[in-house]
């Protein structure tokens, strides 16, 4: 009988038994720590289940003490959650590493196909402007006068056919004032543009409500035009533009 018991004891793996005992002790500690955390959470009247769950799950964790002096090497080797399964940790690390490598390779492949972006945004197309965004598009144009020439007087009048505000009118007149006095094409364009503006409804009312400073913009434009009609009189007459044409415009613009 004793021999059988001795044989049975000798067949027991003491190391495995010790590991099982340590595991049971750790599980028992974990149980009582979690149980204490549950009681504390209830007594503290936690507001949500997630808050309750987080307190219980972190019951076995201990905050660092001032006396703790952890080097970088020690930090890397420290097991912060001793109840976490080692196999699970290894799998997670392996998956994370593969995921990072995959994304890194994918990113490298993607970057090789990327084209450098342009530093400057393409200028807005003024032909797509409407009454609400016209001034914004005009002010963002690299060459405002060229933008007006591209748009054309008839389309401008179509945009503001019912009414044009004094602020918009003054801004447009300022742009027209930037024309090249030595360019016959510019002189003709500005003259025709001014003639088209009068087709906007209630245009005369808008003119009458201009401030004295805004009216100076109108006067300056016509003074520049007047000098150009004198300077380029022969060339303009060939195109049926003379001082009488300019005088008629002055009357309409209340000058």
Domain boundaries, the chain: 15-58, 126-253
Report the distance separating Cα 2 and Cα 228, nearest Å.
Answer: 131
Residues 24-65 pLDDT 10s:
888 888 888 888 878 887 777 766 777 777 777 777 776 666
Residues 60-69 pLDDT 10s:
776 666 565 5
Sign of CA dihedral 128, 131, 133, 137: positive
**Confidence band of 170 (pLDDT split at 50, 70, 90):** very high
pLDDT at 116 over 60: no
Closest CA to 236 of 201, 198, 199, 190: 190
Per DSSP, 200 falls in state S
Written as six digits, the tokens of 60 are: 């076995």
């Amino acid at each position: 009988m004793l021999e059988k018991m001795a044989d049975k004891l000798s067949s027991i793996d003491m190391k495995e038994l010790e590991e099982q005992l340590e595991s049971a002790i750790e599980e028992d500690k974990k149980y009582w720590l979690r149980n204490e955390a549950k009681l504390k959470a209830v007594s503290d009247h936690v507001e949500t289940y997630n808050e309750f769950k987080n307190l219980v799950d972190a019951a076995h964790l201990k905050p660092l003490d001032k006396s703790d002096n952890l080097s970088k090497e020690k930090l890397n080797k420290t097991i912060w959650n001793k109840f976490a399964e080692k196999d699970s940790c290894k799998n997670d690390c392996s998956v994370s590493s593969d995921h990072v490598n995959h994304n890194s390779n994918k990113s490298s492949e993607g970057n090789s196909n990327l084209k450098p972006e342009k530093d400057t945004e393409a200028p807005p197309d003024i032909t797509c402007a409407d009454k609400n965004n016209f001034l914004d598009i005009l002010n963002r144009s690299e060459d405002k006068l060229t933008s007006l020439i591209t748009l054309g007087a008839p389309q401008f009048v179509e945009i503001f056919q019912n009414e044009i505000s004094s602020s918009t009118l003054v801004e447009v007149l300022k742009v027209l004032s930037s024309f090249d006095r030595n360019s016959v094409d510019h002189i003709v364009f500005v003259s025709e543009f001014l003639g088209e503006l009068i087709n906007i409804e209630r245009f005369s009312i808008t003119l009458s409500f201009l401030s004295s400073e805004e009216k100076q913009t109108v006067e300056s434009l016509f003074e520049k035009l007047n000098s150009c009609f004198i300077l380029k009189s022969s060339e303009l007459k060939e195109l049926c533009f003379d001082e009488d044409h300019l005088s008629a415009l002055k009357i309409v613009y209340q000058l």
